[in-house]
Structure 1
Amino acid sequence: MFLLSKLEDPNRPLLGINIKVLKVFGLLLPKNVYMKMFFICLHIITICYYITQSIETWFVKDDINKLSNNLKTAMLTNIVTFRCLTLLFMQNKWWGIIDYVTRTDIFNRTSDDPVKVKIVSESTNYTRKLSFGYYLIVIFNVVYFIYEPLYRYFSSRGKDKSEPLTFIISSWLPFDKCKMPGYWYAYVIQIFGTIFGGVWLAAYDCIVFSTLTFFKAELKILRLDSANLFGTESSTARGETVTERFKDLHIRHMDMMKYVRDLNSCLSMHMIMYMLICSLILCVSAFEITAQTKILQQLLKAQYLFLVIFQLFIYCWHCSDVNHTSLYLSLGPYESLWYNHSTIHRKNLYILTAQFSQAVVFTAGSFTTVTVATFISLMKGAYSFYTLLRKSEN
């Protein structure tokens, strides 16, 4: 938590940490032309390296164990590559979302209403804990991927020189990586590829989760403000004050829905690809676990499987949580003192309630919504693929 506190940005109290990480690794491109070109070249080199994993699939297609391991890592890096590309090509939309979230979050923080301040404080604490935990999980997996080949090399190769060399990632390289010093060259290249992939993965996911958490908090605040539309029993609002509150709620909700659609457009195609690839990764990982005879190797494979399941679940959970909160937004106006006011205000209330009835839905392409129910369906589908793979192997 100390390291994350050093990354805090007082101008962006909610997303400051996530934005700084994205900037350091060039996913949010700087304005300086030379630095921008540097990061673009760095991204191209890293993506080209990830493509070599798919090329390696052709060379290991005859060995089922090598093929399954290659497919597992290649599919994960394909997800990372696609996230990087969508973030780079949709910079304007992402900056629009970030500026909107920051502007609205600061406005809510300066409110005199202690309930609003509590909602904002809880959402901020949640995003900090989630980011910290998520970065820890990703760092642990990156360290494990880097350390495992070294451990095998110095433990197994020291006793048996015929033991095959192991790599961080199964990728094709334009030199013989199975002989010295090519092995160490490949190992160093793979370290950089693994670190960048891990950071890209964590940074992208954390800013998405933080933004979704903000939308949930904003929906709660909109409901609270609509419930206080006509004031309280002891301090009733009337006339132009009520009209201004109607306008304010209408504009705030319209703005929020605009940026919800922008976020959905950034995530939609990524999510359909993510769901399909995660299903295949789950299937392959489960197959590898049952194929292993050593308990230690089964635990290590299970740890990778847990990471993939956790990633997919947390996306579905947050999207489902925002959707569920939006379904109760239309109750806010009915919780106000509408029955004490004129017919004109009641008609306006009816219009506002109809506007608030729009559900916030995040989609995976044009195929399905991103919800917990979808996650469960994917788990069932992955298990069916796994069963089919086991039967074909037998």
Structure 2
Amino acid sequence: MSEEGRNVARKEIHETLNLCNFCVRNIGLSFIDIPKTFFQSFTSYLLFIMASSLLVLMLAGEIAYVAGQMINTASVEEFVGSYLHIAGYDTMSFGKLITIWYKRHTFRHLVVELAEIWPVSIRYRDGVEIKRNSLSTLKHRQFLYAFWNILGVWLYNLTPIAVLLYRKLRGMSAALGYVWQMAYPFDKTKPAVHGIVYIFETCAGCISVCCMLGSDLLFMTMASHISMLLRLLQNQIRRLGTVESKDPFDTRCNDCYKDIVEVVKIHQRLIRYIKDLEDAFSVVNLINVLLSSVNICCVMFTIVFLDSWMEMSNKFYLGAALTQIFIVCWYADDIYRASVGVADAVYESGWYKSNTRCRRAMLVVLQRSQRPLYFTALKFRAITMITYSSILTTAYSYFTLLYTSYRRD
């Protein structure tokens, strides 16, 4: 690829990562813009320290509060209703923050490497349509997912103010509440401290969402691009050996061996890239799989039986939690289906019109593509839409157990 082509590829890729980059820049990281001066590096480092400190303090306060509820009460509803799902969400955010910070150089390298295999000029109209539809769909999904999560956290942040105004208008005694339920080593009810605590909880909640969105949007974008490249490869394979000949037994005009070699090289490069991407996201995917069912169960229990004032915010949280794990499973499953589709594309090509040499080469592509490519949860299990179904089933089982214990009490 020429330098001009690389520049075009980088520009198109960076445009798809703008929303992701906006989120991670709020926590002092970037997968596109590398600090070039000492001042920029120092500013990014300081911002990361502040963001990670806020998130750690928030998570520590939530864990301390949940632990206190566990020690001081045996009531199921008080323990689960102590914003256990929020502690789970922030645990996921912290795990993702550590992962994207630790592997930030790997992610930057993957973004740069993607430009080398990016389709800048596509010869066929259907390939152009595949690229246009993929980028357009990705843009809309990114916006909706980010909007849903940001709206959810601000509903939590503004609910104490809304409750205060409601009680004031009704002539009831009221005081400004708190965004989250956390334990502090000081008296947070003092007037001067109360405002500081409220600001801290608001900022920490936004940081948590930025960590979640930064990781998820990066995964969504990179997986979407790889799926698009695999479908473009399928389209290229289907055209192999399709040159028409007056003599149906004349295979000389269908000697497409060079094209097959090019396809094999592209396929091998995509396989290596997907493996590198899978290694980079395997820890994040494990965090998603382990905690999602618990978070969904706890927020469902809270919505059905507990805090009515936070019901709307918790419903938005439930929608965000279901959407978050759905996106991970959907795009992982999309990679799986696109990789298996390469074998179907070989069968649908003009292999029967080609000579023996071409048929043998295409057989190699067919055999390799019959081994599907997966994203995994740290190599423990492959992630597909079956995983999503399993997570929902597990969450419902937990909910049923909590429901039985709650009714028994």
Same fold (TM over 0.5): yes
Quick one: distance in 1 between partners of 2:251 and 2:134?
A: 30
Q: Which runs of 5+ in 2 are unaligned?
A: 1-9
Quick one: distance in 2 between partners of 1:60 and 1:79?
A: 21
**Is the contact between residue 149 and residue 209 of structure 2 (CA under 8 Å) also seen in structure 1?**
yes
Quick one: distance in 1 between partners of 2:237 and 2:281?
A: 30
Q: Which residue of 2 aligns with 1:6?
A: none
TM-superposed CA distance for 1:371, in Å, is: 1.5
**Is the contact between residue 297 and residue 398 of structure 2 (CA under 8 Å) also seen in structure 1?**
yes
Instruction: Note if 1:21 corresponds to 2:29.
Output: no
Task: Map Cα deviations across residues 224-248 of structure 1 (whole Å, 9 max, x no partner).
Answer: 1112223522699969983332222
Quick one: distance in 1 between partners of 2:115 and 2:161?
A: 44
Q: Which residue of 2 aligns with 1:284?
A: 298
Query: Secondary structure of the equivalent of 2:139?
Result: helix
Q: Which residue of 1 aligns with 2:365?
A: 352
**Is the contact between residue 14 and residue 124 of structure 1 (CA under 8 Å) also seen in structure 2?**
no
TM-superposed CA distance for 1:303, in Å, is: 2.6
Normalised by the size of structure 2, how large is the TM-score? 0.85
In the TM superposition, what are the counterparts of 1:294-313 in structure 2 within 5 Å? Answer: 294=308, 297-313=310-326
**Is the contact between residue 279 and residue 382 of structure 1 (CA under 8 Å) also seen in structure 2?**
yes
How many matched pairs? 382
Which of residues 30, 43, 57 in structure 1 aligns to 2:66?
A: 57
Distance 1:38 1:201, change over 3 A: same
Q: Which residue of 2 aligns with 1:327?
A: 340
Distance 1:299 1:325, change over 3 A: same
Quick one: which amino acid aligns to residue 299 of structure 2? Answer: S
State the structure with bigger RCO (CA 8 A, min sep 6), 1 or 2: 2
Distance 1:55 1:100, change over 3 A: same
Query: Secondary structure of the equivalent of 2:181?
Result: coil
Quick one: distance in 1 between partners of 2:85 and 2:252?
A: 63
Q: Which residue of 2 aligns with 1:4?
A: none
Distance 1:308 1:155, change over 3 A: same
Quick one: distance in 1 between partners of 2:136 and 2:365?
A: 31
TM-superposed CA distance for 1:50, in Å, is: 3.0
What value does the CA root-mean-square deviation take over the aligned residues? 2.7
Which of residues 337, 357, 364 in structure 1 aligns to 2:377?
A: 364
Instruction: Note if 1:380 corresponds to 2:381.
Output: no
Normalised by the size of structure 1, how large is the TM-score? 0.88
TM-superposed CA distance for 1:68, in Å, is: 2.6
**Is the contact between residue 336 and residue 374 of structure 2 (CA under 8 Å) also seen in structure 1?**
yes
Quick one: distance in 2 between partners of 1:375 and 1:19?
A: 24
**Is the contact between residue 13 and residue 102 of structure 1 (CA under 8 Å) also seen in structure 2?**
no
Moved more, 66-75 or 10-19: 10-19
Which of residues 133, 157, 160 in structure 2 aligns to 1:146?
A: 157
**Is the contact between residue 123 and residue 217 of structure 1 (CA under 8 Å) also seen in structure 2?**
yes
Distance 1:80 1:355, change over 3 A: same
Q: Which residue of 1 aligns with 2:235?
A: 224
**Is the contact between residue 109 and residue 120 of structure 1 (CA under 8 Å) also seen in structure 2?**
no
**Is the contact between residue 271 and residue 364 of structure 1 (CA under 8 Å) also seen in structure 2?**
yes
Task: Map Cα deviations across residues 144-178 of structure 1 (whole Å, 9 max, x no partner).
Answer: 011001122333378454x6763212223343212
Q: Which residue of 2 aligns with 1:46?
A: 54
Query: Secondary structure of the equivalent of 2:180?
Result: coil
Quick one: distance in 1 between partners of 2:147 and 2:24?
A: 19
TM-superposed CA distance for 1:288, in Å, is: 1.1
Query: Secondary structure of the equivalent of 1:366?
Result: coil
TM-superposed CA distance for 1:267, in Å, is: 2.2
**Is the contact between residue 27 and residue 84 of structure 1 (CA under 8 Å) also seen in structure 2?**
no
**Is the contact between residue 243 and residue 253 of structure 2 (CA under 8 Å) also seen in structure 1?**
no
Moved more, 190-199 or 38-47: 38-47
Q: Which runs of 5+ in 1 are unaligned?
A: 1-8
